[in-house]
Every structure is written in C-alpha cells, then in structure tokens.
Amino acid sequence: MASLQEQLLKAGLADEKKVKKIKQEQRKAKKANKGKAEVDEGKLAAQKALAEKAARDREINRQRQAEAEKKAIFAQIIQLVDVNRIDRKQGDIAYQFTDGKKIKRVYVTDTQQNQLVKGLIAIVKIKESYELVPAAIAEKIKQRDASVILVLNEKSASDVDEDDPYADYQIPDDLMW
C-alpha cells in the first residue's frame, strides 16, 4: 500500500519539491519537540505527593524536637531540685499554700517557715511531691518553667503604703491561716 504522499505524486496533485519541504519541516518539528519535556500528569502528581510528604515530615520532626526540648528542660528542673533540696524531716509547723484550686500543706521547721515568708526559700512541685529549694534555685527553675514554682514570696523591705488604713496595726508573727 502506497503512502498518501506517493499517491498524491502519482495523481499529479503534489510535486517532489513540496514533498521534500514537508518532510524537512516534519524532521525539524520532531527535533524541536525532542528538546522540550512533555508534561506528564503522573509526574506532576508524584511531585506534589512528595512535596506534601516532605512538609508532613518537617512538621513531625519539629514536634519531636519540641518534645525532646521539653523533656530536657524537665530533666534539668528535676536535677536542680534533687541537688538543692532542703531537708524538712524535722518540720512540725504546717505551712499552707495553694496548688491550683486546692489548699495543700507541708510541715516545716520554724526557721524554714520564716524563710518561706521572707522569700528566701520556695516551694516547688515535682512529680506530685512538694519540695523546698533556695530562692536562687527557684529563680533558675522559673526561667525554665514557671508552673513548677508554687510559692516564692517576694523579698520586700517593710515598706508601708502611705494610704494604708491598717498601717498602724502589726500582724502577729504567730498568725497562721
């Protein structure tokens, strides 16, 4: 079976110059298309899926890193408390404080009670237990996680406000609430 070009040549509708010119144009068109990448829908979908997976992986890694940092900070706090814990085994005075909405108490000595009131020591909560630590250590803990500090009274000079109507009345030292 003869090609369409051969049939047109035999019929006299086309001449050899036109046939050569058309073949040459077809070869040029093939070369031009060869350099250009054809758009493939499958490849685009695969690239999009890879980009989405990479974004999910980055988010998961960020969450894991944040969790690791949180664990490291908590470990630092536990170490600070363990090393600087103040012994309160001899305590016989109940010191009451709030933990959230509940009133809790720890038994401390007389000097520890005075130090708590003056802000020289603080109460921290670690693993559902309450410990006494020096105020300097409490400040370091506060920089890492302020929610661990339950009681840290401010050191204050006995400055009395001029407008205070109760300035003339002294609070007794043995007052407990």
pLDDT in tens, 110-126: 888 888 888 899 999 99
pLDDT in tens, 71-97: 999 999 999 999 999 988 888 889 898
CA 164, 165, 170, 173 dihedral sign is negative
CA 3, 6, 7, 13 dihedral sign is positive
pLDDT of residue 173: 67
pLDDT of residue 19: 78
Task: Please tell me the total number of residues recorded for the chain in this structure.
Answer: 177
Percentage of residues in the chain having pLDDT higher than 90: 28
pTM over 0.85: no
The chain-wide mean pLDDT, for the chain, equals 84
Residue range 56-70: average pLDDT?
95
pLDDT of residue 122: 93
Percentage of residues in the chain having pLDDT higher than 70: 88
For 94, phi and psi rounded to 5 degrees?
A: -80, 120
- 156 pLDDT band, cuts 50/70/90, is low
Helices (H), the chain: 4-11, 16-35, 41-84, 110-118, 135-144
Please answer whether residues 137 and 113 qualify as being in contact, where contact means their C-beta atoms are separated by less than 8 angstroms.
no
- 168 pLDDT band, cuts 50/70/90, is confident
Please answer whether residues 145 and 77 qualify as being in contact, where contact means their C-beta atoms are separated by less than 8 angstroms.
yes
Residue spans per domain, the chain = 46-156
Q: Which of 12-21, 55-64, 100-109, 133-142 has the lowest mean pLDDT?
A: 12-21
